[in-house]
Structure 1
Amino acid sequence: MSVKNNYSGDYPPLFSQEPVPSSTKRQQFRADFPGSSTMSMKSDSSRNYPPLFSHEPAPPGTKRQQHRADFPGSSSMSMKSDSSRNYPPLFSHEPVPSGTTRQQRNGEFPGSSSMSMKSDSSRNYPPLFSHEPGTSGTTERKRAELLPYCASCHEVLKDSSRNSSCPQCGERSRIRDLHLQKVSDALKVTLRRRCERVTEGPEKSGNGTLLHRIYTELYIIEGQNKEFCFQHEVRQVESTCKKIPCETPISCQDIFKTLPDQQRSIRVVLTYGVAGIGKTFLVQKFTLDWAEGLENQHISAVVLLSFRELNLVRDEQYSLLELIHVFYPTLQSVTAEQLTVCHLLFIFDGLDESRFLLDFTNRKLVSDVTQKSTITELLTNLIEGNLLPSALIWITSRPAAANQIPPKCVDRMTEVRGFTNAQKEEYFRRRFRNKELSSRIISHLKTSRSLYIMCGIPVYCWITATVLEHMLTTEERAELPKTLTDMYSHFLLVQLKKKKHKYNKWKETTQQELTGADREVLLKLGRLAFEHLQKKNILFYQEDLEQCGLDVTEASVYSGVCTEIFKRESVIFQKPVYCFVHLSVQEFLAAVYMFHCYTNRKTEVLQDFLNEDISSLEDFLIRAMEKFFLIENGHLELFVRFLHGLSLKSNQRLLGGLLGQKECNTLTIQRVINNLKEIKTYDKCPNRTINIFHCLMEMNDLSVHQEIQDFLKSQNKSKKELSGIQCSGLAYMFLMSDVLDELDLVNYNTSQEGRQRLIAAVKNCRKARLHDVWLSENHCKTLTSALMSNPSHLRELHLSSINLEDSADTLFASLGQPNCRLETLRFENCSLSEISCAALVRALKSNPPYLKHVDLIGDNLQDSGMKQLCDYLESPNCRLETLRLTSTLL
């Protein structure tokens, strides 16, 4: 099936260094938009590549131009994008052929990609009503033509925004409808101003580029990938970056439209995706198209709210009507009665950024839009349909937070995906005019599996481009980064150099030179990053900074000048909110801080984190790995990788003494490497054990990688004995390869622990055979995630001579999940208990559409189990074609 190439919506705006239009062209453009205004804004990145925006009018006859002619007073004021401060603009250095129109130029690059830009939805721009300059004539005449009301109706509307009756015709509903139309028009102007442009740089308003110019459709698929709940986001990108599923993509504008096979209407949509993948950009595009009258005009009003805004009022009580009035002054004239008859869409962006939990169990019932309550109760009642049941709800979230919304409350679950391998390369070829430079960067990335995989995240593409361009185009002769730790260390230094340059203090220095002031601020930022990484917070407020010893003015210097590391945003009430450019940057600085605490013997911090005294580097890193294994969803995975990479002297020299250099000699590093290879993981999740292999790679130990390559090339694999760490590396290689036809653990000469680690590869095979291996609950969860992944490749699962007992319950529960495509299930001599047999029957009754063959030979089912299975066979809903049993009765 052909799938639309539309992944690029989350990337930095791709500006072209076009020749500046002549003054005549500027005047012509401004004549077309007489009410437009632009405000200059200073940008960190603009010092190197000043954005040059085209002032050419759009080609005549286009739908968009015709529509925008209805808004002659529109403003081109730049709305700062939340994510745009994270992802500075990507500038093209390609010269523009003379005489080439913008439309032709865009045609040359049909796959142009763009980074996700978060909408600065918190800015409260004044409502633009029809009596403002440039709108009164056209809009009112059109409204009068479309609505054949009497003159008195219009007079009443001018004098009052309430539902007064017309003294001439007595019409009340007409006055209400005319008023709502006027408010809707004003809201569209407000949202258009807010969403039509995206910018990067400091938080004050500035110029930007049109969203329509840079936007490319994001790839959205329907369905939930439930395995995401147990994985770090880097692993999630690894799971989806190498192939595109065969599902039909859903367009942004069709997010609420039912598919042909769906029976019920779509009221609540939950869209999830990893950080930086384009979720906010998606809702911004949807909102702008509605505001410009291009799409979804059956909706009366779009209320776009971010959780970072709602965090600021989380301790206060509002009615829903008051909440809307606070965030949208344009809607202050809308009454409770009018609100209930409007066709509203509420967009709640960034659930993962919420500082309050959505409690659907203990919440108070709220059904009146004038009833005051907490923000949590307002949102839960809205989602459940108790409050404004006709309103549409759209929620975006990172995967780990998406489970706050009960599945029964969600009518559609959608996922936004990242770059495919082909699009990664396309990104870098578009990023640089110099073809040799782009080719060198792509070739270098392909030499490191971890670097190449990370480029599935749009933000990381930009981080990589920033570092490698700097290193390849300056006088620096350092070796190019080969690990994530190397890459982020260089990224930190590049941004610090930009900061010094900005303040005219920059001079040619060696990489080892970090000033004392820089070290002090970076360690404070590291403490902030670490403490909130443990709390799973990615947003910080003034009090959070102060608790870590960061002066607000000091932080502002880094946010206003070094926006790529740390940024400041102003949301509602102009309160500052702080965050790192990306979660991976927060994880890196957190690791820097924790390593510094170890080398400087800050025992209290270490004990709070690891719950015991630390005596050596080996002990420190082993305890950190154990802590990672204990975390439910593995959110410390990248943090632990960085810790191991920072133990190398090369990275410590690079960061100029920021970490300290105690005990990191060659013998110590070798002991750490040996410890990693010998870690025992009998009851650990097989997916987590792969991180041990990644930590070895971060320490530049390639021995296991080479051993695996030799094993794969050998002619007699069964005679080659594999260690546990080799099995982890082999499982990772299988996961990154094409789908395996069969994975049979009997074919691998390894220990019980080695076979357990290989179970991680079940996710990427069509047929899996597991024989004589002990499965803990964590191992069954791994099999479950393979069955529930989106897409799931597994068609046959054979388990034999395995004492599952009650551990099979978790596995059986996945059979009825919508992503499961299992056709054959064989449990031979697996000692199924009565409880497990009941769980299997429940799973079969859920009507899994693909499961046709079940084999339970040798399980010696008891009377109760046999009876339940026989009853199921006689039911009209049974879809099994084959059921093989062994019973003590036979």
Structure 2
Amino acid sequence: MIYTELYITEEPSEAMNYHHEVRQVQSASKKKILHETPIRSQDIFKTLPDQQRPIRVVLTYGVAGVGKTFLVQKFTLDWAEGLENQDISAVILLSFRELNLVRNQQYSLLELLIFFHPTLHRVTAEKLIVCKLLFILDGLDESRFLLDFTNSKLVSDVTQKSTISELLSNLIEGNLLPSALIWITSRPAAVHQIAPTCLDRMTEVRGFTDAQKEEYFRRRFRNKELSSRIISHLKTSRSLYIMCGIPVYCWITATVLEHMLTTEESAELPKTLTDMYSHFLLVQTKKKQKYHEGQEMRRIELTRTDREVLLKLGRLAFEHLQKKNILFYQEDLEQCGLDVTEASVYSGVCTEIFKRESVIFQKPVYCFVHLSIQEFLAAIYMFHCYTNRKTEVLQEFFTEDDKGNKISLEDISSLEDFLSRAVEEYLLIPNSHLELFVRFLNGLSMKSNQRLLGGLLGQTESSPEIIQRVINKLKVISCQGKCPDRCINILHCLLENNDLSVLQEMQDFLKSDNKSETELSGIQCSALAYILQMSEEVLDELDLAKYKTSEDGRWRLVPAIVNFRKARLHDVFVFGGSIGSLAIALTANPSHLTELHLSSVSLGEYAEDLFTHLGHPNCRLETLRSVN
């Protein structure tokens, strides 16, 4: 087994609520561990030498598929086999995906435990109080109810009936069973549901290091030549290699590349995320079909039933992605026209992309094997709706432009209008949960992926001239008034369209000797900000006054300050309070910014927030100067 790394961290930045998980994987991939302590999962409740108070409540966070539940299972197995933590009397797992099923009912804590774990039926209230218990609350991000630490009624008796939310909040706060240990796992976006005052320790699961990525592929394939070719190919694409920090993505990648290198050696290997996921869907389809010996499969050939099931799954993925749900129940499937009694829902082409789990009442819970699979199928469904002019779906998604004008279907009649409007819609929403979705939409416009996915997408033109119009339109999308950090995703959309020109221009720009004479466009500034952000080394100084660009360009450069020790911001409005680029730089983990100069900088209503961020545990700022 290869275990993902676990680190004790400070309170995470609130900005993580607004960063797509792919961006967090990118940030983690270049972290130098400076002020953090690695820890084994078995030691998660043990105090460090410099700590006084005991550790009672721990929250472990990490992106989807990074290995949180796996660490919990390892801890539990070691305890059950008598290897570790034998002072604990019982480990009690309560997953939020199961708690959702009884969220509207009332129980006492004792009743709730017996309900989920019938083997505890002989445990009395008196015995419960004296035992040393560990409660594992797994998957906070999957909860469909909120924990209220402000207005929740006091519950201190294990036989007192209350709502699930009140029971859990009182358990976490220590009003119920104050001697019990609590371990909560969550994706980053849900972390702030837990009041910081309730937590004794926060830990982060980082995913695979570069060395562990290579170890994974070498262990997966005994054929050394095959594993070396896979590793070599992944290193040619930074985005693919970074994504392999997520163990589930390593599995997706291994599945695709093993198939292609052993059965279709002449095929061009995937270079973008959309390429990889299109081939993954193709591989799953091939598992169901029979071929003549030696026949190569270069597109998905689906039965009518399988096509309908995949599009219905796409609809489920799309509708719940907008709601930020990653877990589905029978009623959710039925609303999308999926008949849960039919084997086709969880067999055939769906075996590796959609999971069915039986929980209490033998009531099934469904989910995609990874969030990115949900995002990919959602994009397929949306593209299908565009090509088939499903006006109701399009009208619900494309509501109005940034000026508040209602968008008509005539405004999205061409492919370039459809894709640019999708990106603009993403930039308008208050968080970034559609970031990969719009990348996939752009990648699906490529002829190679349309050929692979066959009849799923519908008929659309994808000539080089049309794709060039798509690229040209993306390059001129305005980011004025929108979060500049998220405008970098336009660059990723260009990369999914196989357009490397802007990225190459900025790499050449950094090598040039006449930087002050070169005028930069808005999209070039976003590309430059991305390159500077992702530099392996922490850079010395960012001075916006040295760049010849528009106000929009300076705006787009601000996100780069996260990777600088000094920053001189000039003639720019610093966006977004706790979610803006300045907030991210001040509260990043680790934060590098020690010196900040603000010249003709407008903070607007966020001036007070700046001083709040200066008190964040991660902030290392030593010098702050402001000149108007």
User: Under a length normalisation based on structure 2, what TM-score does the superposition of the two structures give?
Assistant: 0.94
Cα 1:312–1:407 change in 2 (3 A) is same
Q: Whole-Å Cα distance in 2 between the matches of residues 805 and 606 of structure 1?
A: 35
Moved more, 796-805 or 247-256: 796-805
1:194 aligned residue: none
2:559 aligned residue: 760
Moved more, 430-439 or 485-494: 430-439
Note if contact 1:563-1:581 (Cα within 8 Å) is conserved in structure 2.
no
Note if contact 1:685-1:778 (Cα within 8 Å) is conserved in structure 2.
no
Q: Does 1:643 align with 2:452?
A: no
Q: Which has the higher contact order (CA 8 A, sep 6+)?
A: 2
Instruction: Report the alpha carbon displacement of residue 587 of structure 1 after superposing the two structures with TM.
Output: 0.2
Instruction: Report the alpha carbon displacement of residue 447 of structure 1 after superposing the two structures with TM.
Output: 2.0
Which of 349, 363, 368 lines up with 1:575 in the alignment?
A: 363
Cα 1:217–1:566 change in 2 (3 A) is closer
Which of 241, 260, 267 lines up with 1:478 in the alignment?
A: 267
SS at structure 1 position matched to 2:255: helix
Q: Does 1:275 align with 2:73?
A: no
- Matching residue's letter, 2:377: L
In the TM superposition, 1:322-721 aligns within 5 A as 322-475=111-264, 477-500=266-289, 508=295, 510-512=297-299, 513-554=301-342, 558-559=346-347, 562-611=350-399, 612-614=407-409, 615-721=413-519
Note if contact 2:60-2:205 (Cα within 8 Å) is conserved in structure 1.
yes
- Matching residue's letter, 1:516: R
Note if contact 2:18-2:579 (Cα within 8 Å) is conserved in structure 1.
no
Note if contact 1:320-1:372 (Cα within 8 Å) is conserved in structure 2.
yes
1:225 aligned residue: 12
Instruction: Report the alpha carbon displacement of residue 560 of structure 1 after superposing the two structures with TM.
Output: 7.5
Note if contact 2:264-2:296 (Cα within 8 Å) is conserved in structure 1.
no
Moved more, 594-603 or 740-749: 740-749
Which of 510, 527, 530 lines up with 1:732 in the alignment?
A: 530
Q: Whole-Å Cα distance in 1 between the matches of residues 625 and 48 of structure 2?
A: 35
Q: Give the number of the structure whose alpha-carbon radius of gyration is greater.
A: 1
Moved more, 229-238 or 807-816: 807-816
Note if contact 1:752-1:774 (Cα within 8 Å) is conserved in structure 2.
no
CA offsets, 1:305-346, max 9 Å, x none? 111111222222211001111122222111111111222211
Instruction: Report the alpha carbon displacement of residue 292 of structure 1 after superposing the two structures with TM.
Output: 2.1
Note if contact 1:242-1:736 (Cα within 8 Å) is conserved in structure 2.
yes
Q: Whole-Å Cα distance in 2 between the matches of residues 558 and 383 of structure 1?
A: 37
Instruction: Report the alpha carbon displacement of residue 285 of structure 1 after superposing the two structures with TM.
Output: 1.4
Q: Whole-Å Cα distance in 2 between the matches of residues 507 and 515 of structure 1?
A: 22
Instruction: Report the alpha carbon displacement of residue 217 of structure 1 after superposing the two structures with TM.
Output: 6.3
SS at structure 1 position matched to 2:249: helix
Which of 780, 793, 800 lines up with 2:592 in the alignment?
A: 793
Instruction: Report the alpha carbon displacement of residue 769 of structure 1 after superposing the two structures with TM.
Output: 1.4
Q: Does 1:243 align with 2:38?
A: no
1:826 aligned residue: 625
Instruction: Report the alpha carbon displacement of residue 370 of structure 1 after superposing the two structures with TM.
Output: 0.8
CA offsets, 1:247-266, max 9 Å, x none? 22122122122223333322
Instruction: Report the alpha carbon displacement of residue 562 of structure 1 after superposing the two structures with TM.
Output: 4.3
Q: Whole-Å Cα distance in 2 between the matches of residues 363 and 616 of structure 1?
A: 52
Q: Whole-Å Cα distance in 2 between the matches of residues 655 and 805 of structure 1?
A: 48
Moved more, 775-784 or 748-757: 775-784
Note if contact 1:237-1:453 (Cα within 8 Å) is conserved in structure 2.
yes
Moved more, 425-434 or 410-419: 425-434
Note if contact 1:419-1:457 (Cα within 8 Å) is conserved in structure 2.
yes
Q: Whole-Å Cα distance in 2 between the matches of residues 827 and 687 of structure 1?
A: 23
SS at structure 2 position matched to 1:417: strand
Moved more, 291-300 or 350-359: 291-300
- Matching residue's letter, 2:408: D
2:404 aligned residue: none
Instruction: Report the alpha carbon displacement of residue 577 of structure 1 after superposing the two structures with TM.
Output: 1.1
Cα 1:509–1:440 change in 2 (3 A) is closer
Instruction: Report the alpha carbon displacement of residue 555 of structure 1 after superposing the two structures with TM.
Output: 5.3
SS at structure 1 position matched to 2:614: coil
Cα 1:346–1:250 change in 2 (3 A) is same
Structure 1 residue runs without a partner (length 5+): 1-111, 114-215, 830-890
- Matching residue's letter, 1:593: Y
Q: Whole-Å Cα distance in 1 between the matches of residues 136 and 555 of structure 2?
A: 44
User: Under a length normalisation based on structure 1, what TM-score does the superposition of the two structures give?
Assistant: 0.67
Percentage identity across aligned positions?
76
Q: Whole-Å Cα distance in 2 between the matches of residues 292 and 432 of structure 1?
A: 31
Cα 1:309–1:783 change in 2 (3 A) is same
Note if contact 1:683-1:778 (Cα within 8 Å) is conserved in structure 2.
no
Q: Whole-Å Cα distance in 2 between the matches of residues 583 and 434 of structure 1?
A: 30
Note if contact 2:561-2:585 (Cα within 8 Å) is conserved in structure 1.
yes
- Matching residue's letter, 1:522: L
Structure 2 residue runs without a partner (length 5+): 400-406
CA offsets, 1:208-263, max 9 Å, x none? xxxxxxxx463323223313222000000001112341222122122122223333
Note if contact 2:574-2:580 (Cα within 8 Å) is conserved in structure 1.
no
Cα 1:580–1:805 change in 2 (3 A) is closer
Instruction: Report the alpha carbon displacement of residue 427 of structure 1 after superposing the two structures with TM.
Output: 2.2
Instruction: Report the alpha carbon displacement of residue 804 of structure 1 after superposing the two structures with TM.
Output: 2.9
Instruction: Report the alpha carbon displacement of residue 364 of structure 1 after superposing the two structures with TM.
Output: 2.6
Instruction: Report the alpha carbon displacement of residue 563 of structure 1 after superposing the two structures with TM.
Output: 3.0
Note if contact 2:567-2:597 (Cα within 8 Å) is conserved in structure 1.
yes
CA offsets, 1:821-851, max 9 Å, x none? 112222223xxxxxxxxxxxxxxxxxxxxxx
- Matching residue's letter, 1:348: L
Q: Whole-Å Cα distance in 2 between the matches of residues 416 and 559 of structure 1?
A: 32
CA RMSD for the aligned pairs? 2.0
